[in-house]
Copies of this chain bind each other. A is one copy, B any other.
């Protein structure tokens, strides 16, 4: 039985869609959170841009100055919900310097300034909580850092951008073009007005950098993450992939190579349609983690949106409250004695799908195959759809495992062949072998 319960003062900076979701769910599930954490919360100060917008918060608690929130002596804990990296970084730094725990869902901030922020946190012995920054409501960071802590991570494969997965799922189901589905996704609220952060893979790369950093215990910088977005994926590729038994997903791949350097890459990927990740559709996220002790695991749920994010933010708030109450010693970023290197993309070995547009005449396949062979790239299957009989036809080729730099060279040479026309397409293949 809890006889005395401390009330924890929450300061919130930013109160848009996600911050509003956190407040709404905190109000609704406050009793439950108390029962489960032994901590009571009270939002005491909220910094917003526009005081006039109604948010269901007493006017006396609102301010336009984030400093007032951070410096308020009644604020024990700062929840940063503003997004972006410039002002958010100032808020984060001021919070840590004030000796107050920071809760954030800001993946860009952590991917770009995580090392510096955690160094500052270390100096001030204040924890940063950031479960909501990756895969929304799925407690994947807790799983990696705690539940699977006895495991060397052999690989992480994740669908970690809901917008891209929504678009690709609908393309696969409906056979429509990227452009058509994107427009509809914007109309339905599944894509932002400016879609680039999502569809160019930047958001997924931020999350991949965070996952990789936690899994391997060194800070992976954004310039160490290889990124390709989904704009170039066509309805034709979707269709051919399906015929070959694959589904195209924007996949984040994080895995050590034989020298224990880590690949961190985000790009469209053909995955076998029988793999559980292929069945993750719509705006859902899923992260498959393979550990050397536990084997294969998978974590699935909604990766974005105010509700899923609020679930993680509120859990972090409770965790912060428990730690503050208990006077637990500070635990920061856990560095491993890992080699701490990432693999340049040119060194990565994977499989490849090619869709070439070639002249419809004999001998073309032989010339293309010869160039792959010259670069030590084995062909595992070739597929030429029968229902094309114009002057040019699509030629689909699946390669065995080969080195990215070799693939690039072969691709360049193939594109120079007079029998090869545009458009041509290359998508990597992951067969989880």
Contacts and interface: CB of A to CB of B under 8 A. Distances in A.
Contact of A147 (B31, B297, B315, B328): B315
A422 B52 CA distance: 73
Of A35, A38, A147, most B-chain CB atoms within 10 Å = A147
The contact size tier of chain A is 35 or more
Contacts of A327: 327-329
A310 interface: yes
Nearest to A30: B150
Given A294-B301, A307-B294, A311-B291, A318 B149 contact: yes
A171 to B, nearest CB: 19
A302 B307 contact: no
Interface in A306-323: 307-308, 310-312, 314-315, 318-319, 322
A331 interface: yes
B337 A35 contact: yes
A370 interface: no
**Which residue, A26, A299, A314, A337, has most C-beta atoms of chain B within 10 A?**
A299
Contact of A295 (B142, B297, B308, B334): B308
Interface stretch (A75-83, A88-96, A107-115, A131-139): A131-139
Q: How many copies does the complex hold?
A: 2
Given A326-B328, A336-B36, A146 B315 contact: yes
A94 B300 CA distance: 40
A275 to B, nearest CB: 9
Contacts of A293: 25, 29, 137, 307-308, 310-311, 314
Interface in A92-148: 131, 136-139, 142-143, 145-148
B217 A35 contact: yes
A316 to B, nearest CB: 9
Contacts of A36: 145, 149, 217, 334, 336
A51 interface: no
A173 interface: no
A325 interface: yes
A217 B35 CA distance: 9
Nearest to A276: B279
A197 B157 CA distance: 35
A32 B294 contact: no
Interface string A31-56: 11101111000000000000000000
A284 B315 CA distance: 28
Contacts of A243: none
Contacts of A310: 150, 293
B325 A326 contact: no
Contacts of A145: 36
B137 A297 contact: yes
A231 interface: no
Contacts of A322: 331
Interface of A: 25-26, 29, 31-33, 35-38, 131, 136-139, 142-143, 145-152, 217, 276, 279-280, 284, 286, 291-302, 307-308, 310-312, 314-315, 318-319, 322, 325-329, 331, 334-337
